[in-house]
Amino acid sequence: MELPVSTQLGFGITCIDANYIRPGLACFYLLEHAGECAIIETGTSRSLGNLQQEMTRRGLAPEQVRYVIPTHVHLDHAGGAGAMLQVFPDAQLLIHPRGARHMADPQRLVASSEGVYGKAKFRELYGEITPVDALRIRVVRDGESIDLAGRPLQVRHTRGHAEHHFCVWDECSRGWFSGDMFGISYPWFRFAGGDFILPATTPTQFDPQAYSASLEILRSYDPQRIYLTHSGELLYTNEKIDLLQRQITAYAEMAADYADDLPSLKLALANYSLSMMREFDSQNSDETLLQLLAFDLDLNAQGLAVWQQR
């Protein structure tokens, strides 16, 4: 499956591949309105090249970028923030109150990620993490609206995946920039029978009750589309959010059943997710589907184990 580096989605929104591990795994968004731009999510420092190429192609100057907005500080979402702030001289970084200190001083964030992936894998995934000047960081509160040349973007704090997570509501497109709260649906999860979505319960702050409550916040806005970081635009339906809710409930039950047995928890998650995916795909082999799931199921199982230990 050959995927484009950038895709224009309408409403002044361009989806740009984050150059993270493989095409289609992660993306971020360039939002242009009345001569001003916002970057929602950043990918890693290796994502900047794709953004600069897109801006050059469209005749957009670095000075037009007003905001850089990671939904949370996990490094596939915020790892490129420092690099972007260096090349966008007039931009502010907008961040959750709990994430601001990690952007100014990312040492603890780096150490935490190295604990999950190991130092060598961390360097391969994320490259260099550049601190952001604290004077260019703006904390945004729950419900606060940001003005992009007259276009309002509303921030809602959404716990469950991480304590420092928010989603961004764009009334113009009636869409949520959902970070990890609306789960994961890669291009290869879009089957003939429908779009499969997998929750994101990666370490270390998964909270199933908070996750479910945050999903209901998203539902309450009656959205028409979701802008996933993993990955791309997804048309919203209530059935999709119900699918996520079902999985979160089942995840919590499996975590309780296998609280001290990570291998068994991984196996239970794999079998359960395979059965869920079969509701959408009857063509691929079990082996193929499990290969598609493997990376995220491993991280999800780690997150569930940490939640049980906590």
Domain boundaries, given as residue ranges, for the chain:
6-237
Q: Is the CATH number 3.40.50.300 carried by domain 6-237?
A: no
Res. 145: pLDDT tops 80: yes
Give the tokens for residue 52: 């600069």
SS (H, E, C) the chain: CCCCCEEEEECCEEEEECCCCCCCCCEEEEEEECCEEEEECCCCHHHHHHHHHHHHHCCCCHHHEEEEECCCCCHHHHCCHHHHHHHCCCCEEEECCCCHHHHHCCHHHHHHHHHHHCHHHHHHHHCCCCCCCHHHEEECCCCCEEEECCEEEEEEECCCCCCCCEEEEECCCCEEEEECCCCECCHHHEECCEECCECCCCCCCCCHHHHHHHHHHHHHCCCCEEEECCCEEEECCHHHHHHHHHHHHHHHHHHHHCCCCHHHHHHHHHHHHHHHHCCCCCCCCHHHHHHHHHHHHHHHHHHHHHHHHC
pTM of the model: 0.95
- Between residues 110 and 59, which one has the greater pLDDT? 59
CB 302 within 8 A of CB 116: yes
What is the residue whose two structure tokens read 């699918």? Answer: 243
Lowest mean pLDDT among 56-65, 117-126, 129-138, 269-278: 117-126
pLDDT 10s digits, 92-118: 999 999 999 999 999 888 887 787 778
Span 13-39, mean pLDDT? 96
User: What distance in Å separates the CA atoms of residue 60 and residue 35, rounded to the nearest whole number?
Assistant: 9
Predicted confidence band of residue 1 (pLDDT cuts 50, 70, 90): low
